[in-house]
A and B are shown apart, each in its own frame.
Chain A
Amino acid sequence: MKTSTAVSRLMGTPGLPMTIILIVAVIVFQLLNPIFLTPGALSSYLTNAMPILLLTLGSAIVIIGGGIDLSVGTVAGLSAGTTMWALVAGAPLWVGILVGCVTGLGFGLLNGILVAVFRINDFIATLATLNIAAGLLVVLSQATLLQGVTDEGFAALTRGDVFGIPISFVVAAGIFVLAHLLISKTVTGRRMYAIGISAEAANVAGVSVARSRMFTFVISGLLAGVAGVFLASRLGAVQAFLGIGYEFTAIAGAVVGGIALAGGAGSVWAALIGGLFLATVQQGLRLNNVDPVYFSIVTALAIVFGVIFDRQVRRVLLRGALARTAAALVDRDASSAPASAGRESKEEVR
């Protein structure tokens, strides 16, 4: 009985069927085009995917806390722009990186204040900041040509490696591990889940809803800032409309991974799997020379089918596991039947 309970719990884990789909997708693309799993393609794939993965993580954190952040895409774009602007103006590399991160952090703080302090609906608040960030990038890119950084260290952020592992991969892995610890092992993370399940009930239990909610937006903004820095490094030039539409991929990645939009459920693992799945589909299409015009359609379809599959598989597996549990219990009860019969007859004599 104990093992089948464990099985049912494992299969109920959100994102597990999605992991299977991810592996299947990788195998299919590898069969279609064997270049898929070569070190060069893999490294460029991870470097390409990294900014979006960070945005997915940020979205996931906000969603787990019961909110939504639509501004992640354009904030990442603007952060790429401000990093570029600082470096083009001749700032040292670390200042440029800092400027990008602070841009993201600032927008996270702004979102947090609008939502937690002024209690503006998060959908509306972040829709506004989405457009503010997008507008600022247009202004910035008209004032300055956002390209031509001479510091080779900047490009090395994405092209370089440590012991053969791409730097961006190391950074992403580090961030995901930290985020996982934060969400699942700390006081902050626990409160996030609590307000995601029910802000009102968490408040009655003594959780400061405003502070926790603010925190989720700040983290999401900071991650968008970091994503922007890496975007700028990879692209080498920032155009006026960078980042628009990224929020769709980011939020979709979180949802595909199995994070409920209702909040209070999900994990960093789920965000990672969901984000990787979308990145894999795009990379697969690119390597198989599919016209980029179709990318968004195929990606959207992959999202829909991924979510349906995830839910169906979980339901079927869960049902099977429960049936086994029930059967095991019936067996146990049958063997202890005489004892219970005795107990019942005793009770009848009142």
Chain B
Amino acid sequence: MDKLSGAQAELREMDALAAADSPVHRLHPLCKLLVTILYIAVTVSFPKYDFNGLMVMLLYPVLLFQAAGIPVRLCFYRLRMVLPLVCAVGIANPFLDPVPLMRLGGLPVTGGMVSMVTLMMKGIFSLMASFLLIATTPIDALCAALRKLHVPGLLVTLLLLTYRYIGLMLREVAVMTEAYHLRAPGQRGIHISAWGSFLGQLLLRSMDRAEELYGSMLLRGFRGEFHYADIPACRASGVVFTMVCTAAILTARFVRITTLLGSLFVR
């Protein structure tokens, strides 16, 4: 099944990317997490007609992608998840907001057109930023960072364990789906007669697996607390990165850089 093998491939790809080494990979995970959240929050906070202000935000992901040695095109495949809803919401704008804001070479540019484009840009930019975070930060480092942010240990442990088993479950579901389709050629999905048993079987098996898993945890002295990988203390590089990025992002939000840049050439 396409979706299942696609998901497995994506997980593998992210793992491989996160395992690489670059200045961005070496940054403290907590710093990256905070900067990413700030970046996305600032990006989506741009007013809906502020195409020019938003454009500057493109520089952050593009520069960091290069510093991390990750080709930008890798994240565009993922846009298929984000863009449909964004487009569905934005597509009506040009029709509902037809007042021209300006003219470009005689063609009117309406408010709706601008707001649709900025909406899509926001979607693309925030995707690029979170892709960058995951592509340069292994899950265990991210979990350690979440602990530092005082996210409850139970939730972080659950995230870690779930991530560990997602690959396994995707494989099991994929194998079962293959086995199903081998005996049901021509069917596109699961027939109604197997709706319950298909996932139900897996569910029962998973419950047994969980029991074994818990046994294995108990046998190794588990008493409710996980010891997280010690992430090194935040080094100077992380502090500098956080400060520089914060300053740059806030500057981009509150100083209209593109207008300044443009006014060097036109008035």
Is this pair of chains taken from one and the same complex? no
Write the residues of chain B forming the contact surface with A, with a CB cutoff of 8 angstroms. Answer: none
